[in-house]
Amino acid sequence: MRVGPQPIIARPAWYDRNPIQQVDYYTGQTVAPHGVTIRCTYTVPAQKKAIVESLQVNLVRRATATTAGVAGAYAMLTPNGGTAEEILDSHIFANTIGDKDGQAQQGALTLLEGDKLDLKTYDGSTGGTVDYFVAFKLTEFDA
């Protein structure tokens, strides 16, 4: 039932609500061992939502370690007021040059106001180097 002469107008699709593309990535070549380090981060602003269209984490060992440890790259999603969860996780255990691992997002991921996305790397080895590539591409729009 309608009251008054106003026509019913559908709300525009998400991609027509002031969309802004956001891209961030980290390419680290021959990176020495290190603790967990945030390489890229994104938090959905107030009164916005975002659709993650592409998300990936990759790594490859370039030089053998003196003492091998686990090296990894991963994506963490922390919902607004919630607990952080790994949504992508890649790691290498071998101490062989060229050993690699990687993961990419399957399907779209919707982020709500205040949700936080972090892309991180680490290497628990002693010596040696690893190449990393972590990246996301998303479209932010009015909620």
Q: Where are the domains of the chain?
A: 25-142
The mean per-residue pLDDT over the stretch 98-125 comes to 96
Q: Does 11 have pLDDT greater than 90?
A: no
Percent of the chain with pLDDT over 70: 96
CA-nearest of 77, 34, 39, 41 to 58 is: 39
Average pLDDT, stretch 94-102?
96
Torsion on CA atoms 41, 42, 43, 47, rounded to nearest 10: 170
Three-state SS for 86-139 is EEEEEEECCCCCCCEEEEECCCCEEECCCCEEEEEEEECCECCEEEEEEEEEEE
Per-residue pLDDT at 13: 87
CB atoms within 10 A of CB 66: 10
5 has pLDDT over 70? no
- Please state whether the predicted TM-score (pTM) of the whole model is above 0.85: yes
> Does residue 2 carry a pLDDT above 60?
no
Tens digit of each residue's pLDDT (9 = 90 or more) over 36-89: 999 999 999 999 999 999 999 999 999 999 999 999 999 999 999 999 999 999
Between 13 and 74, residue with greater pLDDT: 74
Topology (CATH level 3) of domain 25-142: Jelly Rolls (2.60.120)
Q: How far apart are CA 34 and CA 47, in angstroms?
A: 37
d(CA 61, CA 71): 9
**Coil, strand, or helix at residue 31?**
strand
Question: 9: pLDDT confidence band, cut at 50, 70 and 90?
Answer: confident
